[in-house]
Amino acid sequence: MDQAAGQDVGGALPAGLGRAIGETAADIAAVLDGVAETSTAVPGSQWTVGEAAAHLALANELMADLAEGRERPYGDGTPQGLAAANAQSLAGFGERGAAPLAAMITAQAERCADALAVTADGPPPVTPFGPMERSVLASYLLTHMLGHGYDLARALRRPHMIDAERVRLCMPFLLSVMPAVADGPATAGLSARYAVRLRGGGSAFGVTFADGAVEVAPEPRDRPDCTIVIDPVGFLLIALGRRNPWLAMSRGQVLAYGRKPWLGPRFPALFVAP
C-alpha cells in the first residue's frame, strides 16, 4: 500500500479514508521524529509520551489483526473495560522509544488499511465495541489515531493533524458508537431530540433520547428540540474528551438554538468519551 504517498487503495473503503489513515500515521511519525526523551507527561492524561505512543502502536496492531480476521478479545466495550485492557497491554510491552514506535504505528496502520480495503465480504470483524463493518473499523482506526496523535502533538508542542476532512471520515465510527458510550445516569428520564451540524457544510446527524434509550440517525429528525452547530475539529476533540465543551462555547466554536436551546450545553455530558 502506498498510503505514505497519499494514495487510496481498494474499493471497500469510502473515498479518502485509506489516504487519511496513511497520512495521519505519517503525521504522527513526524510528531515523534527526533524525540529523544519520551518521559514527558501528556497533558490531561496519566500517560507519558512513550506510553501514549506505545498504546497507539499496540492499538494499530490490534486493529490490523481484527481486520485480517484474527480474534483478539480486548476489554468489554465499556470505557472502564477498555482502560483496564489498555493498562494490561502496556504492562506487557516495554518499548518506549520514539523511533521504533513511530515505525510500528505506520506499519500497523498500513497493514490494517490494506486488510480492510481488500474486500467488503465476510463477517464483520469483532472489535471491543462488538461486530463492526469494515469501513466503520477503518473509521475507528482513523479516529483513534487522531485522538492520540493530538495528545502527542500537544505534549511535544508540535502541530496536530486534525482537520475538517479527517473529522468527516471519523463520523461513521462516532455515530455507530454513540449509543454504547451514552451515560446511563445522565440520560435517565431525558426526552429530547437533538440535531447536530458541523460547520462548513460537513456532517449532520440526529440524536434522540427517550427515557434512557438513545437513537442516532445519520440525518437530523424534523423539529428537533435543540440544534447544535459546531466547528468540526472542536466536535471531535469534545467527543474524545480532549476539549472542555465550556471552553469551546466561550471561543464561539459551538452555537445552540431551537425550541429548547438550554439543552445544548448538556449534550456533551450525556456521553462518556471512549
Do 36 and 105 reside in the same domain of the chain? Answer: yes
Residue 173 domain flag: no
**Bridge partner list, 228:** 196, 256
User: What is the β-pairing status of strands 226-230 and 191-198?
Assistant: parallel
Residue 265 domain flag: yes
pLDDT attached to residue 43: 95
Which residue is it, cell 477503518? 138
CB 149 within 8 A of CB 30: no
pLDDT attached to residue 9: 47
- 34 is in which domain, residue-wise? 3-161
* End residue of a domain, out of 132, 161, 190: 161
Q: At how many degrees (to 10) do helices 17-32 and 49-67 cross?
A: 150
Do 157 and 190 reside in the same domain of the chain? Answer: no
* End residue of a domain, out of 127, 161, 195: 161
Do 215 and 82 reside in the same domain of the chain? Answer: no
**Residue 185 belongs to a domain with what CATH number?**
3.30.1050.10
Do 19 and 130 reside in the same domain of the chain? Answer: yes
User: What is the β-pairing status of strands 130-131 and 226-230?
Assistant: unpaired
Residue 123 domain flag: yes
Do 134 and 193 reside in the same domain of the chain? Answer: no
Residue 18 domain flag: yes
Q: How confident is the prediction along the chain (274 residues), in pLDDT tens digits per residue?
A: 444 334 454 457 888 999 999 999 999 999 999 999 999 999 999 999 999 999 999 999 999 999 998 988 888 877 788 889 999 999 999 999 999 999 999 999 999 999 998 865 668 899 988 899 999 999 999 999 999 999 999 999 999 999 999 999 999 999 999 998 999 999 999 999 999 999 987 689 999 999 889 999 999 988 999 999 999 999 999 999 999 888 888 888 899 999 999 999 999 999 988 7
Do 149 and 39 reside in the same domain of the chain? Answer: yes
Domain count, the chain: 2
Q: Identify the H or E element spanning 107.
A: helix 98-118
Residue 262 domain flag: yes
Do 185 and 220 reside in the same domain of the chain? Answer: yes
**Bridge partner list, 129:** none
